[in-house]
Amino acid sequence: MIKLDNAILQKVTKPGRYTGNEWNSVNKAHNEVAVKIALALPDVYEVGMSNLGLKILYQILNDRSDTVAERVYAPWVDMEAQMRQRSIPLYSLESFTPLNEFDVVGFSLQYELSYSNVLNMLDLAGIPLLTEERSEGDPFIIAGGPCTYNAEPVALFFDFLVLGEGEEIIVEIVESYKKWQQSGRIGGRRGFLEEAAKLDGIYVPSLYDVTYNADNTLKSIKPNCSAAKPIITKRLVKDLDKAAYVTKPVVPYIDIVHDRIMLELFRGCTRGCRFCQAGVLYRPVRERRPETLLKLAKALIQNTGYNEISLTSLSSADYSCLHELIHNLITTEEGVSVSLPSLRIDSFSIDLAKEVQQVRKSGLTFAPEAGTQRMRDVINKGVTEKNLEEAVSSAFQAGWSTVKLYFMMGLPTENDEDIAGIADLAYKVLDTYRDLKGRRGAKVTVSVSAFVPKPHTAFQWYGQQSITEIERKQQLLKSLFKSRDISFNWHDASTGFLEAVFSRGDRRLGKVLLTAWQKGVKFDGWSEHFKYDTWMEAFKENGIDPHFYASRERSAEECLPWDHLSSGVHKEYLRREYEKALDGTNTTDCRRNSCSACGVCGGLGVEVIDWGTQNNG
């Protein structure tokens, strides 16, 4: 057990990140359990504590008498300096146990630019970075989260990775580990990895051989033993209403990113936005019953003391029982406010606006994604300028005056006219307020990110636009905003470039990541710590061209580094969507329209669960 000297905490910002003992945290005697798991997120406490998936797994594991789960996050640079200076290993927040004393360390990989933090955390814990260098006494290093759907860039560092939803597979992993442990750890580390590989949804990179073509493209990724499957398919919770959910989350002592109750309405989205990876990975739509959500909300309020509930999902306004749910939450839970994340501009109404703002009114965020109808057709956004006008009109009539708009630039077929369309929309929102109120007073914030082509999307073949081109478009858009009522925010193009490299990369990037970390990179997602030049040095030293991964258009026939990792959506479907994008042709939402033959429902034996439709039917 690590004991922190108060002198250390006095030298760091936000010492509450490192002291543990928060409300609802679980402490168990390690010698009384069979399996010890550390749940890790490779970012600071405030970000890690906001991750819903880890909250759910924490409760599932700690509800078992044979298992303990504890939390660990990346220490900020000031705390890391103190730890290295005093030889303090990375430890868990519950029992202050060094990370290398756990049986399993499970990382949640949400963002490619957190990979360097994974290496830094392992090093701080005294755990060998490379799987091939770990001994029998080292923990198994595993990962889940959306980034595992292209695990190749980090394959050298993880013993195995989990594809898909974790509620069921985490229990199977625990049972498999216990069985291996009780059998006398037959076969050593390799023995357990082969047992884990037999579970659906588990990818063990060391059990696969990778070959390349003469032109450096990928030739194949094939199993090298009978335990490994040629294709690993994601895990899916078929009935979300019956799935375990967090009702006693750990309540922090300091502010975190999402410092409120997170109530997950449903999983999946079949709107079919062609840029959206999550819309593919979490298909199909599976809703929770409104009765279940009310019960969960009541328990969460009682167990945390929070008075704000965020209704989370990929597209919360698409929940079929949303009005009924919000009304019941506000009327039955006195003093509790309800907030919605980014809204589709075709799913908003004045009735919803009035419901949400009864207790506390916050800003509204809409995501048109593109500035012109042509571009919205290319990405299959399925919304119009009229939809936006109606949405903001409803919001302004209900008392709002502040609106945030999210866009992307660098999308396939985009031109300067499409960029100018972003500015036009922002001004039309201001005009709508003035027309309704007869005066100025609205504030619009425009946030624009650089498009990153992601695996398992219709745009996975598309070559990302250059940093120079993105920066030119940013300056063009900036020049079009003349009103002080419009704020313009944009993302750094170089971080988007590195994200694209690792999103679309293969196993050879592992040595680049290792070199870059050795040169001091970490917290790459934080602008003040991002070292673009250092990354470029690492690529050069390893003889790898990052543009080969980020900027190159892939052919339909090319073997992609993630082809053996299946989301359940057919590659042929994604290719059809890419061709339709180039034609500007829409695909309708299959949730309540005709099936678009993506392959998920039939292939995974799961059905769309929409309680509003079923109740009306």
225 and 269 co-located in one domain? no
Together in a domain, 20 and 115:
yes
pLDDT in tens, 569-604: 999 999 999 999 999 999 988 887 888 889 999 899
- Regarding whether 279 and 220 lie in a shared domain, the answer is no
Q: Is residue 410 in a domain?
A: yes
525 falls within a domain: no
Do residues 152 and 284 share a domain? no
Nearest in space to 267 (alpha carbons), one of 606, 19, 546, 595: 606
Q: How far is CA 395 from CA 319, 342, 353, 389, 401, in A?
A: 19, 14, 6, 10, 8
Verify that 304 and 223 share a domain, yes or no.
no
The position carrying tokens 């003391």 is: 305
265/209 same-domain check: no
Separation CA 13–CA 109 (nearest Å): 25
pTM exceeds 0.75, yes or no: yes
Range of the domain at 588: 260-508+544-604
- Max Cα–Cα distance, the chain, nearest Å: 78
φ and ψ of 60, to 5 deg: -55, -45
Q: Tally Cβ neighbours within 10 Å of residue 402.
A: 15
Asked whether 33 and 67 are in contact (CB, 8 A), the reply is yes
- Cα separation, 534 vs 529, in Å, equals 11
Q: What is the CATH number of the domain that holds 127?
A: 3.40.50.280
Residues 312 and 188 in one domain: no
* 349-387 confidence digits (pLDDT tens): 667 766 776 544 556 788 899 999 999 999 999 888 998
Quickly tell me which residue has 């200076």 as its tokens: 85
Instruction: Flag whether 395 is in a domain.
Output: yes
**Mean pLDDT computed over every residue of the chain:** 94
Which amino acid is residue 515, in one-letter code?
T
Cα distance between residue 136 and residue 553, in whole Å = 43
pLDDT in tens, 150-209: 999 999 999 999 999 999 999 999 999 999 999 999 999 999 999 999 999 999 999 999
User: Residue 333 sits in a domain of what CATH number?
Assistant: 3.80.30.20
Clarify whether residues 349 and 218 are in a common domain: no
At 358 the pLDDT is 58
Does residue 332 sit in the same domain as residue 189? no
Q: How confident is the model at residue 341 (pLDDT cuts 50, 70, 90)?
A: confident
Give the confidence band of 343 by pLDDT, cuts at 50, 70, 90: low
- Measured CA to CA, the distance from residue 459 to residue 277 in angstroms comes to 9
What does the angle CA 571 – CA 574 – CA 577 come to, to the nearest 5 degrees?
155
Residue 523 lies in a domain: no
Which one has a higher pLDDT value, 356 or 309? Answer: 309
| pLDDT at 617 exceeding the cut of 50 | no
pLDDT digit string, tens, across residues 501-552: 999 999 999 999 999 999 999 999 999 999 999 999 999 999 999 999 999 9
Q: What is the mean pLDDT of residues 53-78?
A: 98
- pLDDT tens for 388-434 read 888 888 888 878 889 999 999 999 999 999 999 999 999 999 999 99
Task: With respect to residue 211, please indicate whether it lies within any of the assigned structural domains.
Answer: yes
- Asked if the structure places residue 35 within a domain, the reply is yes
Task: Establish if 243 belongs to a structural domain.
Answer: no
Nearest to 582 by CA among 424, 421, 461, 419: 461
Residue 314 domain flag = yes
Last residue of a domain, one of 233, 268, 291: 233
Local structure of residue 471 (DSSP, 8 states): H
Residue-wise pLDDT for 427-474, tens only, equals 999 999 999 999 999 999 999 999 999 999 999 999 999 999 999 999
In the chain, the number of structural domains is 2
Q: In sequence order, which residues have a C-beta less than 8 Å from that of residue 87 and are 6 or more positions away?
A: none
